[in-house]
Amino acid sequence: MVPDKTTELEHLLAQAVLTSNTTAFEGFMTTDKNLANHQLLVESPEVFYSFHKDDILKTIDLGGDYLRILVRNGSKSYRSAIYTVGGATPLESFFVGMESIAPPAPIYDRQAPTRATREEVLRLRSLTTLPTLAAVAANYTDSCDGGDSYDNNCAHYLSNAFIKTGYSELSANNPSITARCTPAKRPIRARDMWAWFKTKAQTTSTTLQRNTGWWAAFQLNESQYWGGHVALFDSDSWQYHGTGWYPNWNQYLYKW
C-alpha cells in the first residue's frame, strides 16, 4: 500500500506545532515522589527540576538513560540547587520559557521615564569615564552579539550590554542564571537578572526619584506577566535603556 503523503505531512506539521512552543531540558529522569503527577529531571549534580507529566510533550532518548525532554512554555514548574535550609532542600517555582512568551504592552503614563534618545546614547558613548551602570547603557544596542532573539528580549539584550561592559561573571557559571541564549550564552530571563541585581546592590529602592543617579530596574506584576521586566533607569535624565518600561508595575531598583 502506498503511504498517504498528505497524511504524513499533516502529521509532521502537527508535530512541529506541538513542539514549537516548548523549551528543551536534558538530564536523568525519574518519578517525583514529593509532588503528585510530577517527573524529576536531574540536570547536573547541583541542579534538578520537577515538571508535571502533562507538560512534558516529548521525550527523546539520548542514550545511557540520558534524556532530552520538551516542556510546554508557560507551564509552572520547580527548580532547585542542591543545598539545604534546616535540613530541607527548597524548591523555587518558575514558568518555563518566559523568554518565548511576549509580555503585554506597557501602558502610557506621561509622568513615566521615556526611552533614551539616540542623542543621549551617543552622548554617553562620547564620555571617557562613566559610572558603571551608565557604561552598560552606552553599550546597550537592542540586540545580542549572537544575533538571535526571542518574543521577550529584555533580559537577553540587557545582559548582552552588561557582558560587553565587562561583567564577565554573567558569562561564567553563575548561581543566579538558569537559562542562556545560543550561541552567545547571554542570560535571557528577567528574574535571573533580578536575582543577580540583588547580589550586586549597594543601594535599593522601590520608588523612582529624580536626580538619584543610575539604577538597574526590575518591574513586576505577576497577575499580568510572571516573568517580569528589566531595564536601566537614569533618574537624572528621566530616561530608560531597554526594550520597554512598565510604570504601573511594582518597581525594584538597584545601584552599585
- State pLDDT tens for residues 103-128: 999 999 999 999 999 999 999 999 99
| pTM for this predicted structure | 0.79
Specify which residues 38 forms β-bridges with: 52
- What is the pLDDT at residue 12? 74
For residue 164, give every residue at least 6 positions away whose Cβ sits within 8 Å of its Cβ, in sequence order, or none: 139, 145
Number of other residues whose CB lies within 10 A of the CB of residue 153: 23
Domain boundaries along the sequence of the chain = 21-96, 114-255
Q: Which residue has the higher pLDDT, 3 or 112?
A: 112
- State pLDDT tens for residues 37-92: 999 999 988 889 999 999 999 999 999 999 999 999 989 999 886 554 455 556 78
pLDDT-derived band at 171 (thresholds 50, 70, 90) equals very high
- H-run or E-run covering 198: helix 190-200
Convert 47-63 to b/e letters by CB count within 10 Å (16 or more is b): ebbbbbeebbbeeeeee
Instruction: Please state which CATH number belongs to domain 114-255.
Output: 3.90.1720
- State pLDDT tens for residues 215-241: 999 999 999 999 999 999 999 999 999
Number of other residues whose CB lies within 10 A of the CB of residue 242: 23
